[in-house]
Amino acid sequence: MGYLDWVLPFLIVLSVLIFVHELGHYLVARWCGVRVEVFSIGFGKELFGWTDRAATRWKVSAVPLGGYVKMYGEETFGDSAEAATGGDAAPTAEDSFKNKSLGRRAAIVSAGPLANILFALAVLLGLFSVVGAPAPLAVVGSVQPGSAAAEASLAVGDVILAIDDEEIRWFEDVRRIVNVHPGEKLQFAIRRGDAELTLAATPRPTEQAEGGTTRLVGLLGIRPDLTKIGYEDLSLPQAASAAIGQTWGLATQIFDTLASIVQGNRPLDELGGPIRIAQLSGKVAQDGAISLLYFMAALSVNLALINLLPIPVLDGGHLLLYGIEAVTRRPLNKRIVEYAFRAGIVFVVGLMLLATWNDLKSLQVIEFFRRLVS
């Protein structure tokens, strides 16, 4: 896959997620009576755009690595003021973001990440309702040496058709049956290539901790082939439950990963930037629209949670400062806020540079230039 194959999927995925995020800010800002001057997808020079009747300039800019909503009365800390012209009336103090209550400002800031979470839920609900929930098929992906499966001669690539005459389709069914039959011989009907075989395997009795107690379960010693995925039909309530569970799982996975990196349990080179996202976008797009939608849902949750980190310039940083303002019951010193935001910019830019460096290393670009000069 060439570099150009990444570009279009990457731009589509990123533009949609940025639009959703900024639309959340925009809609709640308008609902709170704030005048929105600019809605931009991308940064830098405007490529094209238009001004609506509410005097909001909607535009697409040259650098497609983010976006923003510029509200009337919003602090810019030295950035050039940017406003649309036109509209029915000049802005007033009531239209200003900074004159809104602390609760309304917090609601506007929170709306971007919330929009990304709702987008992920909606996409997953739609996919689970229409296509079904992805689940590993009952195909053996690996066999642990010395395990019950190895002793029974189960092999990678075997398709498990039935266990003791109970038909099997999903790998989870294999796990469910094996777990409740520790030490009992089970008959496995499998397909290996074009042949169908019957093998006997006895799951190893193993004590497993659960809720402060231990119980005896059976273990076979196999893992699924995660390249062999099917879609399990779900009812609407099941699809809603699965969408919520999947979104929650994505959120906890992101926090666990970040915590492990901060604690030093995982290397910093696992941090990926725009180049790696572009790579993944291209690869996932080749697998079809369903895979691309799942990827967008996961990335949307990622974008929401990253924005909620308590770092000034991110939405979470704004909310942190609003929290301090709520506790102290007075506006924060503008100079302190400005320094906090400048420090936040330095941190975020540094993080982006580190992520981009990791991307370049993964593509072996750094090694290429080392070879040129050595």
Catalytic residues: 22
307-338 burial, b at 16+ Cβ within 10 Å, e below that, comes to bbbebbbbbbbbbbbbeebeeeeeeeeeeebe
- Are 159 and 191 in contact by the 8 Å Cβ rule? The answer is yes
Cα distance between residue 291 and residue 285, in whole Å: 7
- Are 69 and 82 in contact by the 8 Å Cβ rule? The answer is no
Cα distance between residue 234 and residue 244, in whole Å: 14
